[in-house]
Amino acid sequence: MASSTQTALPASLVLVGAGRMGGALLEGWLSHGLDPAGATVLDPKPSAEIEALCAHRGLALNPPASGLRPPEAVVLAIKPQGLDEAAPAVGRLLGPETLLVSILAGKTVRDLRRRLPPARAVVRAMPNLPASIGRGATGAFGNSEVSERQTAMAHALLSSVGLVEWLASEALLDAVTAVSGSGPAYVFLLAECLAKAGADAGLPPDLAGRLARATVTGAAALLAESDLPPDSLRRNVTSPGGTTAAALDVLMGADGLEPLMHAAVAAAKRRGEELSG
């Protein structure tokens, strides 16, 4: 019996842009039952991996534009700066019943409809890099033209690579971008800094790197599996007057991690707002 995700997936789809995120989405869709015969990939410079995937699974890669018809869904996964250049070709793919799903940071529904006049039903989404291993976190918003069926279709496409949270307001997407969209880089930086600090404390750099990586991934796995909130988990590993408490006195100080993270998220949010228009 087909899963609910599989039955909600579109029968015909065009993916515009098959870079790291577009490729991760494509692999997620295929693993959840997307019919390769109904899928087309458009990318002017596809990677060897995408070429191999399309050849192996029988997906059309960069077919002649004259042979393309408006599909049920178009997923726009190019860089935001490339929207103007891609708009004419993308616009020709949009029929009256086509759902447009955009993962372009900062490009609002208004921006998209201005550059793509045929667009009616539009879903904006912001997935993140762990989508490449099926552990993504995506915030999504649909405009008033998106039908119940199209919402289910968009949810099936996005949930194939992880968690999906639907937003009541499009204005929240810049904050989503700053928290979960950019967030994996913050975690990677934490592992990087922890390894460097370990090396400065006297550990061989390769050992410090292995310990830092295992610590970050292990703590993340514990957080994922536990029902406890992060602050409870933190307290559970902090003995009063111990080594962890001494470190947290620094990290939780007036110039510690919280104000830095607030500033970082605010900077990412501002940049998302600057990319609109």
Phi, psi of 46 (to 5 degrees): -65, 145
Q: What is the CATH number of the domain that holds 166?
A: 3.40.50.720
H or E stretch covering 23: helix 20-31
Are 264 and 143 within one domain? no
Are 67 and 157 within one domain? yes
- Provide the domain limits for residue 262: 183-274
The verdict on residue 178 lying in a domain is no
Are 231 and 268 within one domain? yes
pLDDT score, position 2? 47
pLDDT tens, residue by residue, 61-78: 999 988 899 999 999 999
Are 203 and 122 within one domain? no
The verdict on residue 11 lying in a domain is yes
pLDDT tens, residue by residue, 191-241: 999 999 999 999 999 999 999 999 999 999 999 999 999 999 999 999 999
Look at residues 173, 207, 242 and tell me which one is the last residue of a structural domain: 173
Alpha carbons 28 and 250: distance in angstroms, whole number: 41
The verdict on residue 232 lying in a domain is yes
Q: In the beta sheet, which residues pair with residue 40?
A: 14, 60
Predicted confidence band at 264 (pLDDT cuts at 50, 70, 90)?
Answer: very high
Residue 134 backbone zone (phi > 0: left; psi -120 to 50: alpha; other: beta): left
pLDDT score, position 1? 37
Q: Which amino acid is at 101?
A: V
Alpha carbons 164 and 137: distance in angstroms, whole number: 6
CB 107 within 8 A of CB 80: yes
Are 270 and 155 within one domain? no
Q: What is the DSSP string of 136-198?
A: EEEEEEE-TT--HHHHHHHHHHHHTTEEEEE-S-GGGHHHHIIIIISHHHHHHHHHHHHHHHH
Look at residues 173, 193, 211 and tell me which one is the last residue of a structural domain: 173
Tokens of 66: 């004259």
pLDDT score, position 272? 83
Please list, in sequence order, all residues whose beta carbon lies within 8 angstroms of the beta carbon of residue 261, skipping any fewer than 6 positions away: 186
pLDDT at 269 over 70: yes
Are 227 and 157 within one domain? no
Are 161 and 191 within one domain? no
Are 78 and 151 within one domain? yes
Are 97 and 220 within one domain? no
CB 80 within 8 A of CB 95: no
The verdict on residue 243 lying in a domain is yes
The verdict on residue 42 lying in a domain is yes
Alpha carbons 13 and 26: distance in angstroms, whole number: 10
pLDDT tens, residue by residue, 8-46: 999 999 999 999 999 999 999 999 999 999 999 999 999
Q: What is the CATH number of the domain that holds 189?
A: 1.10.3730.10
CA distances from 268 to 25, 32, 261, 271, 276 (A): 23, 32, 11, 5, 13
- How many domains does the chain divide into? 2
pLDDT tens, residue by residue, 243-263: 999 999 999 999 999 999 999
Are 81 and 163 within one domain? yes
**Residue written as tokens 């534009």?**
65
Are 28 and 132 within one domain? yes
pLDDT score, position 273? 83
pLDDT tens, residue by residue, 80-108: 889 999 999 999 999 999 999 999 988 99
Are 192 and 129 within one domain? no
pLDDT tens, residue by residue, 126-182: 999 999 999 999 999 999 999 999 999 999 999 999 999 999 999 999 999 999 999
Predicted confidence band at 4 (pLDDT cuts at 50, 70, 90)?
Answer: low
- Whole-model pTM? 0.89
Alpha carbons 83 and 111: distance in angstroms, whole number: 10
pLDDT score, position 277? 62
The verdict on residue 198 lying in a domain is yes
